[in-house]
Amino acid sequence: MFRIYRKIACFFFLILEALSPAPSRAEEMPLGYALLPGGTYFYQGETAKGALFAVPETGLIALGVAESPNLASQGGVPEINVPLLLGAQLYVVDKWSYYQRRMILFNDENPSAVPPVDRTSLGDLLLAPFRPSVVSSPVVIISGLLGVADGLYGYPKRSGTFSNISSVTAMNQHMSRDSGTAYYEGASFAVSYGAGVSEEMVFRGMLLPILDYKYDQRTGLWVSSLSFGLLHSLNPGAGGIYVPAQATALGLLFGWQVQEDGYRISKAIAAHFWFDFISSTTTWLANPTQNPLGVQVALGF
């Protein structure tokens, strides 16, 4: 999964360079700085902002690498390396924030020459899943309900419910049901939040408007949604057609909302987060051995 996110980040710069006009005010940045955690900010002399990204990215990735030998699996789903995934998600946010700043600059110079970009501040985008005005929107409510349905029916192989859990093992740490649930919910919240922010920035905040600009809205919506589904076919334990088909359908919903909102992605970020988090929580309650994080669950009857 980490390598997938690194490839996506590299695609930022390839797509941007292919589509953007020659900038009159933006500096050409060496690729090493562009790919380094926090490097775009370091190169521009914004050391504090660069460190704000680089320190947690590097720390999470290092912790994830160290924890890799301790991971197991549950129900055929490999345990998710939570710190490594969070580091990769933050890396994507880091690079998208540079993309956003550069595209705003180009749009100010020549609005018709480049794709649109959401001008919402990074801080406001990060808070989108928790803003009442965003959470109360129909697309977020619908996504939450779909998350419940996915948690109840998306993993049909059943062997017990939350009440049957006797112990939990994660990161090679054995826990009681209560402490294991606290770990699972915390990890689920974190990776769902990271996925909602980082994936929406890539697919609805970058790929969709670029495709719409180069082709048309129908092409952009379908190609970005199918690409979103293809990415999810690489998820651990995502055998069969269900996961990529589900992701493609959600991509169509989120992409349509972004197009309707003038390429603002706040509602898509919130909808994505709440779908993921509600789905994973519902699965833990109804069918914990099929949990999407691959946390090991022992049942007692």
DSSP code per residue over 178-207: HHHHHHHHHHHHHHHHHHHHHHHHHIIIII
pLDDT of 45 above 50: yes
**175: helix, coil or strand?**
strand
Name which of 3, 90, 102 is nearest 43 in CA terms: 102
Q: Is the Cβ–Cβ distance between 270 and 135 less than 8 Å?
A: yes
Residue 210 corresponds to which amino acid?
I
pTM above 0.95, yes or no: no
Rounded to whole angstroms, how far apart are CA atoms 232 and 255?
A: 16
Q: Mean pLDDT over residues 71-77, rounded?
A: 76
> Which pLDDT value is given to residue 2?
45
Task: Please tell me the total count of domains within the chain.
Answer: 1
> Which pLDDT value is given to residue 300?
84
> Which pLDDT value is given to residue 10?
53
> Which pLDDT value is given to residue 27?
54
Rounded to whole angstroms, how far apart are CA atoms 299 and 167?
A: 7
DSSP-derived pairing of the beta strands 77-78 and 73-74: antiparallel
pLDDT of 117 above 90: yes
Q: Mean pLDDT over residues 293-300, rounded?
A: 92
Residue 24 banded pLDDT, cuts 50, 70, 90? very low
> Which pLDDT value is given to residue 196?
98
Name the residue range of residue 251's domain: 2-299
Q: Compare 281 and 233 and report the one with higher pLDDT.
A: 281
pLDDT of 102 above 60: yes
pLDDT in tens, 250-268: 999 999 999 999 999 999 9
Measure Cα distances from 30 to 16, 17, 21, 43 in Å.
Answer: 14, 13, 18, 9
Rounded to whole angstroms, how far apart are CA atoms 146 and 276?
A: 10
> Which pLDDT value is given to residue 250?
98
Per DSSP, helices labelled H in 20-46 are 31-35, 39-43
